[in-house]
């Protein structure tokens, strides 16, 4: 589907979507968003790229394989549950760092649920992209 309009738009949209997806994931704890939505959004960015420039280009732009995303996401989600075990708490009990402020971003509040959400983000994105790329390539062949 070669279209100059789509290709040119995608150039700007893909990075914007990537940043947006990260932001949506981060803000999910207090406002609509979160890992699931962020992951879907990230995959939309690369799906768009796949449609406009082809699967190979989209794969290349992603840099890591979707399988890697899934594996890394699962590992991160698992790891996020471990600190609680050290403190003799139940697996996956949430732990938070004290709040602090950063310029531009305002109050920052970090804890294991955010790490977990990043794992979810990566797994969901990896899953969607894996399915998308597989089916697209099937189609191209």
Partner 1 sequence: MIPILLTSLPLVLAVVVYFNGPLRAALTGKIAAACLLLLLGILAYVSSSPSLQHLLSSSIEWVPSLGVELLFSVNGFSRLMLFLIFGVGTVIFFYASDYLKSHPQQHRFLTVLLIFLTGMTGIVVSDNLIQLFIFWEVTSVTSYLLIGFKHEDAKSRWNALQALLVTGSGGVVLLLGFILLGSIAGSFDFQQIVQSKESILAHPYAVPAAICILIGALTKSGQFPFHFWLPNAMSAPTPVSAFLHSATMVKAGVFIVAKFTPIFTTQPYWDWPLVALGSITMLYASVMGLMQSDLKKILAYTTLAVLGLLMMLLGVGTELAVKSAIVFLLGHALYKSVLFLSAGSIDHAVHTREVGKLGGLFRWMPLTAITACLAALSKSGFPPFFGFLSKEYVYKAGLAEEAIAPFIIAMAVLTNMLLMALALKVGVHPYFSKKNSVPAAGKAHDPSPWMTFGPLMLASLGLAIGMFPAWISEHVTNPAVSTILMSEVSISMKLWHGLNLPLLLSVLTLAGGLSVYAMRHNRIFDKTRESTITDPFEKIYRSGHDGLIALTIWITGFIQSGSLKRYFIWMISFFVFLVMTKLILIGAPPKSSYETPLTLLDVSISIMMIAGMFGALITKSRLIMLLALSLVGFGIAWIFAVYSAPDLAITQILVETLIVVLFVLCIRKMSMIRSLTRVSTRVRDIALATLAGAIMTVLVLKSQWIQFAPSISEELMEWSYPLAKGKNVVNVILVDFRALDTFGEIIVLGIAALGVGILVTSNRSKSKEKSSNTP
- The site map against partner 1 for 71-100 (x = CB under 8 A) is x-xx--xx--x---------xx-x-x----
51 binds partner 1 (CB under 8 A): yes
56 binds partner 1 (CB under 8 A): no
Residue of 60, 67, 75, 37 whose CA lies nearest to 129: 67
Residues 22-41 that bind partner 1 (CB under 8 A): 28-37, 40-41
Positive or negative CA dihedral for 59, 63, 67, 69?
Answer: negative
Retrieve residue 114's tokens.
């955010």
CA distance readout (Å), 119 to 34, 48, 60, 79, 112: 11, 23, 22, 9, 11
Q: At its nearest, how many Å lie between partner 1 and the CB of residue 132?
A: 6
Residue of 52, 54, 51, 28 whose CA lies nearest to 39: 28
Interface residue list for partner 1 (CB under 8 A) = 1, 28-37, 40-41, 43-44, 47-48, 50-51, 66-67, 70-71, 73-74, 77-78, 81, 91-92, 94, 96, 109, 111, 113-114, 116-117, 119-120, 123-124, 126-128, 130-132, 134-139, 141
């Amino acid at each position: 589907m070669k279209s100059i309009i789509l290709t040119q738009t995608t150039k700007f949209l893909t990075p914007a979507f990537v940043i947006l997806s990260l932001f949506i994931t981060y803000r999910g704890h207090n406002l609509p968003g979160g890992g699931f939505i962020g992951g879907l959004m990230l995959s939309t960015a690369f799906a768009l790229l796949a449609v406009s420039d082809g699967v190979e280009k989209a794969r290349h732009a992603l840099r890591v394989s979707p399988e890697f995303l899934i594996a890394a996401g699962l590992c991160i989600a698992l790891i996020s549950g471990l600190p609680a075990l050290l403190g003799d708490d139940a697996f996956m009990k949430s732990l938070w760092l004290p709040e602090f402020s950063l310029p531009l971003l305002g109050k920052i509040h970090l804890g294991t649920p955010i790490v977990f959400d990043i794992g979810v983000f990566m797994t969901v994105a990896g899953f969607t992209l894996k399915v998308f790329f597989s089916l697209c390539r099937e189609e191209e062949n």
